[in-house]
Amino acid sequence: MTDKTTAVGAPRAAVPSGDPTAVATAIVIATAPAAGGACAALLPWQGATVLGRLLGQLGELGIGDVRVLTRPAFEAGVREVAGDRVQVAETMAGDLRAIADAAGERGAGLVIVPGDVITHKEALAGLLKDPRVVTGALLGGGWRSRQFAFRVRSKRGRVISAASPFHAVHRPTSAFLGVLKVAAADRPALAASAARLSELAAAPPEEWREELARKRDMWRKGLWRASQRGGEEAEEAEGDDEPADDFDDAPEHDEGPAAEDIVLSPEDEARLLEKLAAAPEDTTAVALVGLVRSGTHVGVTRLRRLFWDRPLSAQAAADAELRIRDYDEDKVLLDSAVKASDGFFTTFFVSPYSRYLARWAAHRGFTPNQVTTVSLLIGFLAAAAFATGERWGLVAGAVLLQIAFTTDCVDGQLARYTRTFSKLGAWLDSIFDRSKEYLCFAGLAIGASRAGDPVWTLACCALILQTARHFSDFSFGAGQTQVIGATEQPPVERALDAGGVAAAERRARDGEMPPGPEARSEPEPEVELPLSRRVLRAWHRIDRLPGVRWMKKMAAFPIGERFAVISLTAALFDPRVTFIVLLAWGGFAVVYTLSGRVLRSIAR
């Protein structure tokens, strides 16, 4: 049923043969100019070119059909690297036409990527080889991508708005790193949207031109602000790749001088010119806007802490060559196998060592599902030990439960590290987690009865409370996903996205100022917001205080904390204490999460 594909680097997973998310075609866009009018994709890289490196990586990922789009001026150079796989177009309209034609052919999935992207092969593989992402984009939030990439807004694993030289994003959350995977099923959507964009690119609407002008000012101010900060932030934020809502596109309203009054350093001025020359050639970003605006489900893969850059000068390419050497790819992969959304206990008491168990398991060739099953068996043993009702049993059960929990973290990290994701695996993981927890409830209650202190009622209450809490999570999440899916996208002619249109209309209604290009960089007037929204904003704002985010996570009583409570209270006290603590903390978590959700539902 499956055939093994092996690759260098981290241990590789089996890929199902009929995989609907498989990618067979790559469209490489080598059109961006670098400093001095050279082709950015042809910048030197380790004795060869950036484009050569990328084509090599695509080949190693098993993509046989590679087409390189370029401009007449770069054709000769590109042909030297890419041979006869080159297609020439005069303008972006031609690129989009070629994409539309390629997407219109029958075949497996395709990937669109700029020829000047320098990243780890694992970053490409993370998107192209992940069966969970059908059609998707590689996103990042690091400092480098903030400077050099167009932004997107993503929510619940889906890109809901994207920027391009001609399109703006309202309240962006991260940056699009240029790599766009389109599954076979979405090829018609890509063909249709790229064809439409091609017509528009040939005669750009007024809004598109205004947006490009706005971006020029925005980047000028961005470079100025960065120079004011002395670039310290760069070091600190480099590896940080957590989705964040404060990744704002336009905080530059009135801090500092107007764009035309800014005097940049010669280096910054040169960088701005490079960026301005390259930006209107960013066909990939435009293609992403087309897909998102046509309502296609574009999923999200994150860069994690891997390397990414798009150099626009030989100097920048040489810098990138030095910086990429500092990356220990295996360590980065292992570190980023840890789920970013885990709770406090899991992050600080389990993940620091479970990732090494995951690597060990990977090298021994264990599959995530085997580890999941072992975890359930250990959970059974823990419940059986609890059921003895003796002190030694409670202590042994506590220890076994922690071992089971660690094993449970290992399976997910192993899956992410080796990219062996499967739907069955995800199902087993979730259902076995629940089973372990409730089995331990049963074990503790049986043990307590044996010890002469029956706690069945408390156990029943804990079981009911936890299930109700989970169902609140499930249906709240499903509701949000549904809202995202039902959002109407403006046509691609419009520069503003749905959020931007709504904000502009709101301002126009309030008579604040006319909805023009300048207006949208202003913050929304806070006084107009209803109470529920203001409370929510303040609630999000305090996340920036140190430790607050972890406190909030703990208050929601996630699985790591629950298992820790069970182990500690059972080992030190008795099952009655365990259930009372579970009910008290769980009850607090209900009040806490419920108030947040009710506020959000009122605000909507």
Partner 1 sequence: MTATVAPAEQRPALPSNAAVYRDDGPLSAALGRALGRAGRFPVPAMALLLLGVGAILALAAFAGRDASTGLVAAAVAWLVLTVGITSGHWPKESFHWAVPPLVRLGEYAALAWLAATADAVPAAFALICALTFRHYDLVYRLRHRAEVPPRWLNLLAAGWDGRVIIAWVLLAVGALPEAMYVWAGLLGAVSVAETVAAWRRFERGRGTAGEFDEVEGEGE
- Ranges within 164-193 binding partner 1 (CB under 8 A): 185, 192-193
Give min distance, CB of 254 to partner 1, in A: 34
The DSSP symbol for 357 reads H
**Contact predicate 418/122, CB 8 Å:** no
285 is an interface residue for partner 1 by CB under 8 A: no
Residue choice 5, 265, 315, 467 for contact with partner 1 (CB under 8 A): 467
**3-class SS of residue 433:** helix
What residues numbered 407-436 form the site for partner 1, per CB under 8 A?
Answer: 412, 421, 423-424, 426-427, 430-431, 433-435
Q: Which tokens in the block code for residue 224?
A: 């100025």
**3-class SS of residue 176:** strand
339 is an interface residue for partner 1 by CB under 8 A: yes
**Contact predicate 56/141, CB 8 Å:** no
Interhelix angle for 575-603 vs 548-555, to 10°? Answer: 110
Which among 33-41, 228-236, 339-347, 370-378 is the span making contact with partner 1, rule CB under 8 A?
339-347
Give min distance, CB of 375 to partner 1, in A: 14
Q: Is residue 311 exposed (0-12), middle (13-18) or buried (19+ Cβ within 10 Å)?
A: buried
Angle at 310 between CA 304 and CA 311, to 5 degrees: 135
323 is an interface residue for partner 1 by CB under 8 A: no
Residues in contact with partner 1, counted by CB under 8 A, come to a total of 74
- Four-point Cα dihedral 232, 234, 236, 239, nearest 10: -170
**Contact predicate 406/347, CB 8 Å:** no
* C-alpha distance from residue 503 to each of 243, 248, 494, 498, 541 (Å): 22, 15, 14, 9, 20
Question: Which residues, at least 6 apart from 266, have a Cβ–Cβ distance to it below 8 Å?
Answer: none
591 is an interface residue for partner 1 by CB under 8 A: no
Give min distance, CB of 584 to partner 1, in A: 16
How many Cβ atoms from other residues are within 10 Å of residue 459's Cβ? 26
442 is an interface residue for partner 1 by CB under 8 A: yes
Give min distance, CB of 178 to partner 1, in A: 22
Give min distance, CB of 196 to partner 1, in A: 6
Nearer to partner 1 by C-beta: 165 or 560?
Answer: 560
Binding to partner 1 by CB under 8 A, coded x per residue (else -) over 20-59, reads xx--------------------------------------
Beta-carbon-side half-sphere exposure of residue 229 (alpha carbons within 13 Å): 12
Binding to partner 1 by CB under 8 A, coded x per residue (else -) over 296-315, reads ---x----------------
Give min distance, CB of 19 to partner 1, in A: 8
Nearer to partner 1 by C-beta: 58 or 200?
Answer: 200
Nearer to partner 1 by C-beta: 33 or 140?
Answer: 140
What residues numbered 477-516 form the site for partner 1, per CB under 8 A?
Answer: 477-479, 482, 485-492
536 is an interface residue for partner 1 by CB under 8 A: no
Question: Which residues, at least 6 apart from 16, have a Cβ–Cβ distance to it below 8 Å?
Answer: 1, 2, 131
Give min distance, CB of 483 to partner 1, in A: 8
Q: Which tokens in the block code for residue 402?
A: 């922690």
Nearer to partner 1 by C-beta: 273 or 483?
Answer: 483
540 is an interface residue for partner 1 by CB under 8 A: no
What residues numbered 556-575 form the site for partner 1, per CB under 8 A?
Answer: 556, 558-559
471 is an interface residue for partner 1 by CB under 8 A: yes
295 is an interface residue for partner 1 by CB under 8 A: yes
**Contact predicate 408/349, CB 8 Å:** no
Contacts 24+ apart (CB under 8 A), 315-319: 315/35, 316/43, 317/43, 317/44, 317/45, 317/50, 317/118, 318/44
Which among 3-11, 17-25, 259-267, 316-324 is the span making contact with partner 1, rule CB under 8 A?
17-25
592 is an interface residue for partner 1 by CB under 8 A: no
Q: How far apart are CA 381 and CA 386, in angstroms?
A: 9
Nearer to partner 1 by C-beta: 310 or 416?
Answer: 416
Residue choice 46, 228, 370, 475 for contact with partner 1 (CB under 8 A): 475
Residue type at position 195: A
Longest CA span, the chain:
87
What residues numbered 131-160 form the site for partner 1, per CB under 8 A?
Answer: 132, 134, 156-157
Residue choice 32, 93, 278, 445 for contact with partner 1 (CB under 8 A): 445
470 is an interface residue for partner 1 by CB under 8 A: yes
